[in-house]
Amino acid sequence: TNNEWVAFLNDKVYKIHDRKFVGNGKKIQDVFPKGPAFVNATVTSGNLVLLFAERTIYGYEYDGVSFSEAPDFPRELHERVLFYPQGAFPLNNGSVILLSGNVFATYNVLENGPSFLNDKTRYFPNLPDNLRSGVPKDIRSDEAYWMFDETTVSDYDMPTKQVLQLVSIIDFFKCI
């Protein structure tokens, strides 16, 4: 939901409610059954939470209490995507953008294939260099995102391709 998130750091996952951490971090595999030991990128698309570990895509559904493996997951990333995703963000059409360095793929998760591959700096200028994940500010729109790297959160405006504000993760998540 818009006020419940999970965040990943190293081999741990943290639950967040209303931008505040809830409890201590747990090992990824303790929260996501048969999940990877680490993730390169994560994204939520529709009701699927997707974890990318190298070329493997793990898919999970959330029932409000716990995560369970989604049907037909895990699966391998399509061979036309020649990179390990290092970042991802969703589009409101059900596809996700996978990123690594200066390349990206528009990826249809349900069909398990890319529909477009191109240069990130051309199509998404001003994104953080080490983007890990993006979350739409409004789940019904893909015009504004919170874009996360390891230490900061960018308020990214998709129509203008500009960062409107940059804050530290500590300030964004109301860490005390």
Q: What residue segments make up the domains of the chain, in order of their start? A: 4-172
What pLDDT score was predicted for residue 8? 84
Cα 172 to Cα 161: distance, rounded to the nearest angstrom: 21
What pLDDT score was predicted for residue 27? 94
The amino acid present at 147, given as its one-letter code, is: M
The amino acid present at 50, given as its one-letter code, is: L
Lowest mean pLDDT among 18-32, 57-71, 148-162: 18-32
Cα 78 to Cα 163: distance, rounded to the nearest angstrom: 31
**pTM of the entire predicted model:** 0.88
Collapsed DSSP state (helix, strand, coil) of residue 10:
coil
Tens of pLDDT, residues 122-156 = 999 999 888 899 989 887 788 999 999 888 999 99
Neighbours of 78 (CB within 10 A): 16
CATH second-level architecture of 4-172? Answer: 4 Propeller (2.110)
